[in-house]
Amino acid sequence: MSKTLLIIKREFVAKVRNKSFIVMTFLSPLLFVAIGVFVGYLSTMKAELKTIAIHDETGRFVNEFKTDQEYKYVDLSQVDLKTLKDSIVSESYEGLLIIPKLDDNAKLQKGIQYVSNDSPSVSFTEDLEDIIAKKITAENFQKAGLDTLKINNAKADVSIYLEKASGEQALKGLNEIKIIIGGAFGYLIMMFIILYGNMVMRSVIEEKTSRIIEVIISSVKPFQLMMGKIIGTSLAGILQFLIWAVLGLSAMFILSGMLGVHMGASGAAGAQAVEAAQHSGSDIQMYIKELWNLPIATILISFIIYFIGGYFLYSSFYASIGAAVDNETDSQQFLLPIIMPLILGVYIGFFTVMNDPHGTIATVFSMIPLTSPIVMMMRIPFGVPTWQIIVSMLILFGTFLGVVWFAAKIYRVGILMYGKKPSWKELAKWLRY
Amino acid sequence: MSNILEVNKVVKQYGDYTALNEVSLTVPKGSIYGLLGPNGAGKTSLIRIINQITMPDGGDVILDGEKLKPEHVAVIGYMPEERGLYKTMKVGEQCLYLAQLKGLSKQEAKQQLDYWFERLEIQGWWNKKIQELSKGMAQKIQFVVTVLHKPKLLILDEPFSGFDPVNANLIKDEIIELNKQGTSVIFSTHRMESVEEMCDYIALIHKSNKLIEGKLIDVKKKFRSNSYEVGILSDNIEGLMYDLSQKFTLSQTDFKSLNDELKLEINLGNATPNDLLNTLVQRGQVTHFVEKIPSMNDIFIKTVSEK
């Protein structure tokens, strides 16, 4: 067996046997489910009923406010303002809406007050304003002698029918689905890089602090050790994801079997599809059809390639950082510049790609190797020309080769250096040793 | 080919700092070779170059007649001064892994392991983790790992540090036994007693330069001062002292003996030992007459402090 293979095997076994790996693998899906259930439970919980006092001196508006699940409106127009304000301070009521007696609607518009201890939410204030504005508008129409019925009939409700150039009906909200799918893959890559990159770094530090490193590199080349470590760790990560995928799929089958839920509705189409289903039954089939029309093969193949490329690129950084420092605390100053581009990638993905998947910014960042695994994964569901994907992958792997060369140099020197925390300047010096 | 290792004018630089300045060594086959020097002299740099952990900036290294190449790691066994093993890995697995990295097949490695575990009486440790072992126990494992692949050349950096006297002796015997079977040994140490006891050859490195190299006995001859320790029982000490001081340089000294005699260290200068003896026997009863052989410790300190 070649030495690199031996190292890969040892690293893999060491990672997989580790208690934290086993715990992570089987506990984190449970945790995810638990969080999902918890959030779901929270959103079904009814908010506490708040009572709003209305002091309407005009008497024209008070009936417009309808009590609902969240807010209860009480007409306290007869009570004097001073007492009411005191009761707000003593928290008998959540808030007090004061509509003064002003005949001129133009003045009334500016004269309405809301008094409360806590500042009200924007949507609540908007609701109040809406109700009053509607009433005033209606009154204005009447005063001007306009027929409200005719006006209402004259209002048009436009809904644009979306169609693709190929002639099929296009669906609203599809972009959101695409960004969710692309985003999930991009996010996964980022998580994996950070999680497993850190593992590579820790394992390098462990070899350094336990001083076994000198024994090992008297048998193998430092480069072999570094690559073996990176590959072995990545295999452990892939195994973890495979387990998650199997667990997730079987959980979904069991759940849908138990609840008798139609797979399409509970599955990938997500919230948008459910919403669409409420409007018309056939839409949901169209969403599912659209999903199948996504470049699924391209997505999956690209995911694996970007996953490997991005992980290899970043873990060479992590390995050389691990070699440069003596303990994890010292690694912070070197880690920041590594995590920054990852986060930048995710931000660009969610903000720029969503609005303009093929714009200059999105295209450029899907070529830059530090962000391309994330940004390109988010772009692919929108349909990216194959040549762009290939160029971006070539740049990624080319950069990886360059970075690994540098990383190996720092690694080679770093693993034998003890005792002091190196500066960036020193790292640069090591490249010339 | 009678040399296992030849180091020719090896230069190693770290930035502006020269760790080795054209150092040359010759290690004969089958010898136990002591590599001496104070801390920071360049011993570890040299050992790392021999182990191909780092590359020299100049000069070359010939191992068993061939220029150093990657395959040579299989014929060298190296125990670094900073001992290290995977703390959470089991002893058996770890030994197998490290032996396989040296190029042994799994079966060979297992055979060798069984042999050594039995020899050192540590069979029960196979499934223990290193972190469960004491420091001395871990050192034993480290030694086993170093010799498992039957290296032709054994390089040991401070091999006895961390061992209690019993285990140190055990390891010393194992090293001598391996040497008898034909393994050449390079020893890097500060402990001069073990050098005197075990080494055939020595080299002294100081401040990146080699200062002394040769057979231990030749080095000692070179540093002999032609001084003798003498014990004598005499009735006329004043007369004796007068006679001696006419011909030799004297100083008081002390050594263990059963008599209450006069103890002197006498430098012969250009005279012969017989001249001294003649002078002594005329004045009294000679109880002690021994050439003062410089200890490695004296040579080490003398050479290092001169520079």
DSSP string of B138-168? HHHHHHHHHHTT--SEEEEESTTTT--HHHH
Residue A362 identity? A
Structural domain that includes position B86: 3-221
Say if B76 falls within a structural domain.
Answer: yes
Residue pointed to by tokens 């990295």 = B101
- Give the start-end residues of each E strand in A58-143: 71-75, 95-99, 113-116
User: Given the DSSP bridges, would you call strands B58-63 and B227-233 parallel, antiparallel or unpaired?
Assistant: unpaired
CATH number of the CATH domain containing B114: 3.40.50.300
Residue A103: per-residue pLDDT = 75
pLDDT above 70: percentage of residues in chain B? 99
pLDDT at A430: 72
Distance between CA atoms of residues B38 and B40, nearest Å = 6
DSSP H/E element including A267: none
Residue A61, helix vs strand vs coil: coil
Per-residue confidence (pLDDT) for residue A8, from 0 to 100? 93
- Enumerate long-range contacts of A247-255, CB under 8 Å, 24 or more apart: A247/A26, A247/A29, A248/A29, A251/A29, A251/A33
**Does pLDDT of A249 surpass 70?**
yes
φ/ψ of B290, rounded to 5, equals -140, 135
Q: Is the pLDDT of residue A429 over 70?
A: yes
Q: Which of B15, B73, B87 sits opposite A218 (nearest CB)?
A: B73
User: Mind telling me how many Å the CA of A236 is from chain B's nearest CA?
Assistant: 17
A313 or A432, higher pLDDT: A313
Report which residue type is found at B142.
Q
Per-residue 3-state assignment (H helix, E strand, C coil) for B244-284:
HHHHCEEEECCCCCCCCCEEEEEECCCCCHHHHHHHHHCCC
- B258-296 pLDDT, tens digit per residue, is 777 788 888 887 888 888 888 888 888 888 888 888 888
User: Are residues B39 and B169 located together in one domain of the fold?
Assistant: yes
Q: What is the pLDDT of residue B155?
A: 92
For chain A, positions 260-299, list CB contacts with chain B under 8 A.
none
Kindly tell me if the per-residue pLDDT of A267 is higher than 60. no
Radius of gyration of chain A (CA): 31
The string of pLDDT tens digits covering residues A52-105 is 888 888 888 888 888 887 788 888 888 888 888 887 777 778 888 888 887 777
Tell me the pLDDT tens digit for each residue of B91-105. 989 999 999 998 889
Do the chains contact at A212 and B14, CB–CB below 8 Å?
Answer: no
Residue A264's pLDDT band (cuts 50, 70, 90): very low
Q: For residue B73, name the pLDDT band (cuts at 50, 70, 90).
A: confident
Looking at residue B230, which CATH number applies to its domain? 3.30.70
Dist CA A26 CA A115 (whole Å)? 52
Does any CB of chain A come closer than 8 Å to the CB of residue B97? yes
- Helices B135-147 and B91-101 sit at what angle, rounded to 10 degrees? 30
| Topology of the domain comprising A50-147 | D-Maltodextrin-Binding Protein; domain 2 (3.40.190)
Burial of A239-251, coded b for 16+ CB within 10 Å and e otherwise, reads: ebeeebeeeeeee
Does A18 have pLDDT greater than 60?
yes
Are residues B275 and B196 part of one domain?
no
Q: Average pLDDT of A337-350?
A: 87
CA distances A400 to A7, A8, A365, B142, B257, Å, are: 21, 19, 17, 36, 75
Pair of tokens at residue B147: 């010799």
Q: Find, among A209, A213, A427, A423, the residue nearest to A333 by Cα.
A: A423
Mean pLDDT (chain A) is 80
Contact indicator for A90, A70 with CB cutoff of 8 Å: no
B161 and B47 together in one domain: yes
Cβ separation B86–A210 shorter than 8 A:
yes
B44 has a pLDDT exceeding 90 = no
Total Cβ atoms within 10 A of residue B211 = 17
Query: For residue B204, how far is the Cα from the chain centroid?
Result: 10
Residue among A191, A251, A181, A354 nearest A36 (CA): A251
Whether B50 and B140 map to the same domain: the answer is: yes
Helix or strand (DSSP H, E) at B42? none
Query: Which one has a higher pLDDT value, B215 or B237?
Result: B215
Q: Å from B53 to nearest chain A CA?
A: 6
Contact A225, A217 (CB under 8 A): yes
Q: Average pLDDT for residues B246-257, to the nearest whole number?
A: 79
Q: Tell me what pLDDT residue A12 has.
A: 92
Q: Which residue has the tokens 């190449």?
A: B69
B227-233 and B249-252 strand pairing: unpaired
* pLDDT at residue A270, rounded to an integer: 46
Q: With bands split at pLDDT 50, 70 and 90, how would you rate the model's confidence at B39?
A: confident
Please indicate if any CB of chain B lies within 8 Å of the CB of A214: yes
C-alpha A197/C-alpha A200 separation (Å) is 5
Predicted confidence at residue A288, as pLDDT, reads: 66
Rg (CA), chain B: 24
In angstroms, the CA A326 to CA A341 distance is 25
| Percent of chain A residues past pLDDT 70, beyond the cut | 86
Residues B202, B278: one domain? no
Q: Identify the pLDDT of residue A163.
A: 66
How far does B155 lie from chain A, in Å, by closest CA?
Answer: 11
Mutate which of B86, B131, B147, B158 to disrupt the A interface (most A C-beta within 10 Å)?
Answer: B86
**Taking all residues of chain B, what is their mean pLDDT, rounded to a whole number?**
86
- A149 DSSP β-pair partners: none
Contact B267, B225 (CB under 8 A): yes
Least confident window among A12-21, A259-268, A389-398, B53-62: A259-268
- Does ipTM exceed 0.90? no
pLDDT for position A422: 73
- Let me know whether B21 and B50 are in one domain: yes
CA atoms A153, A156, A157, A162: torsion sign: positive
**Residue indicated by tokens 């060594």:** B25
Domain boundary assignment for chain A = 50-147, 170-430
Asked if pLDDT for residue B13 goes beyond 50, the answer is yes
Q: What pTM was estimated for this model as a whole?
A: 0.73
Judge whether B262 and B234 are in contact, CB under 8 Å.
Answer: yes
- Residue B303 located in a structural domain: no
Instruction: Say whether residue B87 is in contact with chain A using an 8 A CB cutoff.
Output: yes
**Residue B19 domain-assigned (yes or no):** yes
User: What residue in B sits closest to A213 (Cα-Cα)?
Assistant: B84
A92 burial (CB, 10 Å; 0-12 / 13-18 / 19+) is: exposed
pLDDT at B264: 83
Residues B104, B112 contacting (CB under 8 angstroms):
yes
Indicate if the pLDDT at residue B43 is higher than 50.
Answer: yes
Is residue B215 within 8 A of residue B200, CB to CB? The reply is yes
Contact status of A217 with chain B (Cβ, < 8 Å): yes
Together in a domain, B173 and B256: no
The amino acid present at A417, given as its one-letter code, is: M
**Is there a single domain that holds both residue B232 and residue B188?**
no
Contact B97 A10 (CB under 8 A): yes
For residues A59 and A152, give the distance between their C-alpha atoms in angstroms, rounded to a whole number: 25
Q: What is the pLDDT of residue B273?
A: 85
Q: What distance lies between CA B100 and its chain's CA centroid?
A: 29
Split into its structural domains, chain B has a count of 2
Q: Is residue B168 part of a domain?
A: yes
A220: nearest CB among B79, B85, B101:
B101
Distances (CA, A) of A36 to A46, A242, B204, B235: 18, 21, 70, 107
pLDDT tens, A2-15? 888 999 999 999 88
* Nearest of A210, A191, A200 to residue A318 by alpha carbon: A200
Residues of B in contact with A6 (CB under 8 A): 97, 100-101
- Structural contact between residues A387 and A300, judged by C-beta atoms closer than 8 angstroms: no
Structure tokens at A142: 């009447």
For chain A, say whether B72 makes contact (Cβ under 8 Å). Answer: no
**Judgement on whether residues B163 and B65 belong to the same structural domain of the protein:** yes
- Does B147 share its domain with B86? yes
Query: Which residues does chain B have within 8 Å of residue A218's beta carbon, measured at their own beta carbons?
Result: 51-53, 73, 76, 78, 80
Identify the CA nearest to B212 among candidates B202, B227, B220, B221: B202
| Spatial strand order in the sheet of A50-56 | A71-75, A50-56, A95-99, A113-116
The residues pairing with B213 across neighbouring beta strands, listed in sequence order, are B203
Segment B108-164, tens digit of pLDDT: 999 999 999 888 888 888 888 888 888 888 888 889 999 988 899 999 988 888 788
pLDDT at B297 over 70: yes
For residues A290-306, give the mean pLDDT: 78
pLDDT at B307: 64
| B44 and B169 assigned to the same domain | yes
Is the pLDDT confidence value at B25 over 60? yes
Neighbouring-strand partners of residue B58: B11
Determine contact, residues B18/B184, Cβ cutoff 8 Å.
no
Close Cβ partners of A306 (under 8 Å, ≥ 6 residues apart): A189, A372, A373, A376, A377, A393, A396
The DSSP H or E segment spanning B102 is none
Query: What's the count of helices (H) and strands (E) in chain A, helices before strands?
Result: 19, 4
What is the rounded CA–CA span in Å between residue B51 and residue A217? 9
Residue B301 counted as domain residue: no
pLDDT band at A266 (very low <50, low <70, confident <90, very high): very low
CB atoms within 10 A of CB B133: 18
User: Does any CB of chain B come closer than 8 Å to the CB of residue A391?
Assistant: no
When pLDDT is averaged across residues A149-172 and rounded to a whole number, the result is 71
Q: Residue B37: pLDDT above 50?
A: yes
Instruction: With CA atoms as reference, report the closest residue to B24 among B213, B287, B299.
Output: B213
Quick one: pLDDT band at residue A395, thresholds 50, 70, 90?
A: very high
Which residue in the block uniquely carries the two structure tokens 């300047």?
A425
Q: Is A237 exposed, middle or buried, given 0-12, 13-18 or 19+ CB atoms closer than 10 A?
A: buried
Task: Give the C-alpha separation, B207 to B204, whole Å.
Answer: 10
- The neighbour count for residue A255, using CB atoms within 10 Å, is 12
- Pick the last residue of a domain from B221, B256, B274: B221
Q: How far is CA A143 from CA A45, A136, A140, in A?
A: 45, 10, 5
Quick one: closest CA in A to B143, which residue? A215
Q: Which residues of chain A have a CB within 8 Å of the CB of B87?
A: 206, 210
User: Which residues, at least 6 apart from B278, have a Cβ–Cβ distance to it below 8 Å?
Assistant: none
Going by pLDDT thresholds of 50, 70 and 90, the confidence category of residue A129 is confident
Range from A170-179, A274-283, B58-67, B178-187 carrying the lowest mean pLDDT:
A274-283
Amino acid letter, residue B47: I
Yes or no, beta carbons of A217 and B53 under 8 Å apart: yes
Q: Retrieve residue B32's tokens.
A: 């136990």
Return the top range by mean pLDDT from A378-382, B201-205, B231-235, B247-251. B201-205
Q: Are residues B240 and B194 in the same domain?
A: no
The pLDDT value given to residue B177: 92
What are the backbone angles phi and psi of residue B246, rounded to the nearest 5°?
A: -65, -35
